[in-house]
Amino acid sequence: MIFGFIVKPIMLLNGGLLLFALMVFQMLQGMRKIKFKGPLHLKVHKRMAWVIMAFALIHGAMAAVYVFGIRIG
């Protein structure tokens, strides 16, 4: 339970699918299949990496709460 919300498997599935979609976008951008020109490419690529990291931390925390039955809040 996180601040009164019970973590359900569907939440973890949705989080995993979101992370997968972000990773695919990041890879396509790195391979230049999705094209940004000049310094914009690097800015978008770096920001997407931070977004993926933030979602991965949230996803991991939710999984730990679900698996270990931790209560937060």
- pLDDT per position as a tens digit, 13-65: 998 999 999 999 888 887 878 777 778 878 888 888 899 999 999 898 888 88
Cα gap 40→26, rounded to integer Å: 14
Residues ≥6 apart with Cβ < 8 Å to 49: 26
Q: Do 3 and 72 touch, CB atoms closer than 8 A?
A: yes
Rounded mean pLDDT, 4-20: 88
Give the CA count within 13 Å in the CB-facing half-sphere of 63: 11
The pLDDT of residue 34: 78
User: How far, in whole angstroms, is CA 40 from its chain's centroid?
Assistant: 22
Residue 1: pLDDT over 90: no
User: pTM of the entire structure?
Assistant: 0.75
Residue 3: pLDDT over 80: no
The two tokens of residue 57 are 């931390």
Q: Return the SS3 of 65.
A: helix
